[in-house]
Amino acid sequence: MRQTGRQSRRPERRTPPTAAELAKVHERTLADAAARELALPETGGPAAPGRLEPRPEIGDSWARLRRLGLDPDTGAAAVLLGPAELEQRRRSSGLDNVVPVLRETLLGPVGQAPLILAIADAEGHVLWQEGERGLRRSADRIGFVTGARWIEESVGTNGIGVALRAQRPMHVHSAEHYLRSHHTWTCVAAPVHDPATGRLVGAINLSGPAHNVRPYLLQLTATAARLAETELRAHRLEALNQLRTLAAPLLARVGGPALVVDAAGWTAASAGLPPPSRLRVPSEGWAPAAVHWVPGLGDCVLEPLADGWLVRPVRPAADGGPDGPGTVSAERAEGARLRLDLRRPDRPELSVRGAADSWSHPVSPRHAELLLLLATTREGSTAAQLARALFGDAGRTVTVRAELSRLRRYLGGLLAHRPYRFADSVLVTVEGPEDPLDLLPASTAPAVRRLRTELVAGLVRLPGAGVPGPPDAARSVPPPRTASSAPGPVPGPPPRTAGERGAGGQPPASRAASWASVGPQSRSASAETSA
């Protein structure tokens, strides 16, 4: 009997692809990319319903490595750390204190299972590696050894490289590796951040045979990374207590308000003023015996003390106003220059230079996303528009307002609201990475992903890029060149600034003429961040 009415949908695939299926996806994707470069018909043809494609993060990695010209058969030449540099990196990473607990957590539960535990620093150097002996001999043959730098640019798509780049737990299985020599392996990795500064300090990785993959390894590795951060936090609190013991008698002899903070800005002790939980330390650090403007305190004299600083306000920050003490007032915002530096994927940085003071410090990934959206939509956005641009959900306004409230604690008069935007007098520059695909690579925000695509295509440029100025002025991001590209001017209209086209359904920002006033005369990074 023929079925009538609405036909049922084919159920979505719930089982993960096999190694053989991933291998087919790998070969088809690389062949299609090569065909596009040579202007030949693609081997796979148009995407058919149900056609298996690489995961977005894996596909993005493959596309980036193709642009870099990495050979999937050979990779890049391996460079190993010498014994002295290896030992120095182990100590400076701070991870040497957590190796015993990681070894017990990750290798203990799996017993004699064929697994390798590797701990890498933030630059991808493998600092420690141990596990089943036979498997380690197999790892030696692909260069997965202590001292090797396991980043995508050298060894293709892999667990450590992808986790460090995306800054979240990741797994790379079988033919999801870019190099064919790695297709018999599966890797899971999770990043580790310093709880004191939020800085990325390394990654924890478990690797084993692709045919012996276990579904719980990703959760186990992510849990181990959180455990490592807990151990790092415990060591920081112990050091802070030691500094507090040293600071108490010193503060008793200081005339006037003062406080003692550690190297990361966390308060150990204070006298004569309400102690903030943490001061924001500039990215380039503080210079001793100099007056610095400190958000939350105003102008202060700073003196080095053991593993921290003695901070003495000499001109208290003005109280009152919606922004609170120590933030940038509306008067100070007049003519201020704000620079969002996104050149380093793992360390976004914000610099503010005004008439009376300047400061710079790293920002969190979420704040970097918000600042980028505000910089590219100068006419302003509502909380709902920002929520849609960040999460694809206009209803998540509570989260957006909470993050913007945190930003106002140190931006103050630089950040206006109703709608949310930078003050009209603020000169804004965004410095992006050389490869547009490296723009906040950990971000999955719809507006950021769309901005990357438009930058690669040369349709837009970042605010402050390509405006008239001296030779060192902020540069625009050029469109990628392919094998079929010919020298000469590119036909068609010039690329717009990202602010001209809006983001995620937000209202369009000011036109190119307005951006000419927004793009300041660029200076060196040291000049931007000097106190």
pTM above 0.95, yes or no: no
Confidence class for position 340, pLDDT limits 50, 70, 90 = very high
H helix or E strand, kind and range, residue 67: helix 56-68
Check: CB of residue 26 under 8 Å from CB of residue 66: no
Q: Between β-strands 308-316 and 298-305, what pairing exists: parallel, antiparallel or unpaired? A: antiparallel
Confidence class for position 316, pLDDT limits 50, 70, 90 = low
Cα dihedral: 482, 487, 492, 497 (round 10)? 70
Confidence class for position 425, pLDDT limits 50, 70, 90 = confident
Most confident of 300-304, 327-331, 351-355, 430-434: 430-434
Provide the 3-class DSSP secondary structure of residue 520: coil
Residue for token pair 């006298």: 271
* pLDDT, position 49: 52
For residue 199, give every residue at least 6 positions away whose Cβ sits within 8 Å of its Cβ, in sequence order, or none: 122, 193, 347, 362
Residue 479, pLDDT above cutoff 50: no
Residue 114, pLDDT above cutoff 60: yes
Provide the 3-class DSSP secondary structure of residue 95: helix
* pLDDT, position 516: 30
Mean pLDDT across the stretch 322-337?
54
Confidence class for position 518, pLDDT limits 50, 70, 90 = very low
Helix-helix angle 365-375:383-391, to 10 degrees:
120
* pLDDT, position 216: 84
Check: CB of residue 307 under 8 Å from CB of residue 243: yes
* pLDDT, position 64: 86
Specify whether the backbone of 111 is left (phi greater than 0), alpha (psi in -120 to 50) or beta.
left
Percent of the chain scoring above 90 in pLDDT: 27
DSSP 417: T
Tell me the two tokens of residue 488: 């000469």
* pLDDT, position 146: 95
Q: How far apart are CA 271 and CA 194, in angstroms?
A: 28
CA distances from 429 to 178, 350, 374 (A): 35, 10, 11
CA distances from 290 to 303, 315, 375, 484, 490 (A): 8, 13, 32, 56, 51
Give 501 or 64, the one with higher predicted confidence: 64
Residues facing 347 on adjacent strands: none
Mean pLDDT across the stretch 395-413?
86
* pLDDT, position 365: 86
* pLDDT, position 473: 36
* pLDDT-wise least confident of 17-26, 213-222, 323-332, 495-504: 323-332
Residue 155, pLDDT above cutoff 70: yes
Q: How far apart are CA 304 and CA 306, in angstroms?
A: 7
* pLDDT, position 112: 59
Helix-helix angle 56-68:159-166, to 10 degrees:
100
* pLDDT, position 510: 33
Confidence class for position 371, pLDDT limits 50, 70, 90 = very high
Residue 484, pLDDT above cutoff 50: no
Check: CB of residue 429 under 8 Å from CB of residue 463: yes
Check: CB of residue 264 under 8 Å from CB of residue 282: no
Phi, psi of 191 (to 5 degrees): -75, 155
Tell me the two tokens of residue 354: 């005004």
Mean pLDDT across the stretch 449-475?
69
Helix-helix angle 19-37:56-68, to 10 degrees:
40
* pLDDT, position 51: 67
Report pLDDT digits (tens) over 173-206.
988 999 999 999 999 999 999 988 888 999 999 9
* pLDDT, position 32: 64
Mean pLDDT across the stretch 3-11?
45
* pLDDT, position 465: 63
Instruction: Please give, one letter per residue, the 3-state secondary structure of 191-225.
Output: EEECCCCCCEEEEEEEEEEHHHCCCCHHHHHHHHH
* Amino acid at site 7: Q
State the number of CA atoms in the 13 A half-sphere of 423 facing the CB. 19
Report pLDDT digits (tens) over 224-247.
999 999 999 998 899 899 998 888
H helix or E strand, kind and range, residue 270: strand 267-271
Q: Which of 45, 70, 54 is nearest to 22 (CA)?
A: 54
- The pLDDT mean for the chain works out to 76
Provide the 3-class DSSP secondary structure of residue 125: strand
Residue 337, pLDDT above cutoff 80: yes
